Structure 1
């Protein structure tokens, strides 16, 4: 199997990333809500625990939609997809260890970690749009971190909304891809 076909399988199986970004956005918005209305520390826990569940919740959403929910056994991109998924919880552990009482830095630092995790999606999906998402998250995370004593959940709310919006950008890109004749898409 060539790389282009493998990437097309990933796009088809995971709906161009639509469900993953929608679930991720919902997790970020829920964590921001917890940080806003419960406590900043609870918001940290909500994003960390919710982040661990993103792959499972995305798989559930794919199953409920009636779509294929995983790549076939032995697919050449399956290992890469799994490896990418594990980078975020490990990165968030580092963020949690380093913020030490500066909870206002958790969401911005997490934006940078999660944004960086989207860079390999460019290859996995064969979609440059993921580089745009990665860049927006990384730049946004750095910008939020520069605020003096920022309102802690602001970065969580902003990133959650970005991810939800981006889910629909990815869905639109899927519709465009389906409307382009395969002979033109190959050239």
Structure 2
């Protein structure tokens, strides 16, 4: 299977990745709300455990509700998504290490990790939207640290809102036909 056909199949199977981005956006919003109204540590747990549910929930939605077909066994691009999960884990770990003194940095660093991972989704789906999404999330996280924003909740809410906007754009984007 050539790369264009593999990308087209993934776009069809996962609705351009829009559902996963939307679920992720909702997790970030929930975490941000928890950070603003409750305890930052609880918000970190919401982000961690909610993050673990993103792929299973989005897969359930695309398979059971949207009735999208599974990706074929010969499509090796899907593995990139799995192999880039450590980027997120490293971001969460690094953010947690500095969160004792600067809780907002947890959210900024985690958001930068998510943004960095989205850059690889350009290869997975063949959609340049992921480059824009990745760099916007990286910029929000970087600004959170550079400007010493005191609220991790606002950083998380900004990231979640951007993801929900991106999900709507991805959902409405018609995938390119395989060459």
Task: Give the aligned partner of residue 56 of structure 2.
Answer: 56
Task: Give the aligned partner of residue 109 of structure 1.
Answer: 109
Task: Give the aligned partner of residue 131 of structure 1.
Answer: 131
Unpaired runs of 5+ residues, structure 2, are: none
Kindly tell me: are residues 68 and 87 of structure 1, through their superposed partners in 2, closer, same or farther at Cα, counting changes over 3 Å? Answer: farther
Number of residue pairs matched by the alignment: 179
Shift of 1:45: 1.1
Task: Give the aligned partner of residue 6 of structure 1.
Answer: 6
Higher deviation after alignment, 156-165 or 99-108: 99-108
How many Å separate the matches in 2 of 1:148 and 1:117? 24
Shift of 1:101: 3.0
How does 1:151-170 map onto structure 2 within 5 Å? 151-170=151-170
Task: Give the aligned partner of residue 91 of structure 1.
Answer: 91
Task: Give the aligned partner of residue 39 of structure 1.
Answer: 39
**Local SS of the residue matching 2:173:** helix
TM-score w.r.t. the length of structure 1 is 0.87
Check conservation: 2:23, 2:58, Cα contact below 8 A.
yes
User: Residue by residue, what CA displacement relative to the aligned partner does 1:126-171 show, whole Å, maximum 9, x if unpaired?
Assistant: 1111000001000111011123352221001111110001001111
Shift of 1:84: 2.4
Q: Which has the larger radius of gyration?
A: 1
Shift of 1:18: 0.9
Matched, 1:19 2:13: no
Check conservation: 2:26, 2:160, Cα contact below 8 A.
yes
Check conservation: 2:112, 2:141, Cα contact below 8 A.
yes
Q: Considering only aligned residues, what root-mean-square deviation do their CA atoms show, in Å?
A: 1.8
Shift of 1:86: 4.3
Check conservation: 1:55, 1:85, Cα contact below 8 A.
no
Check conservation: 2:84, 2:117, Cα contact below 8 A.
yes
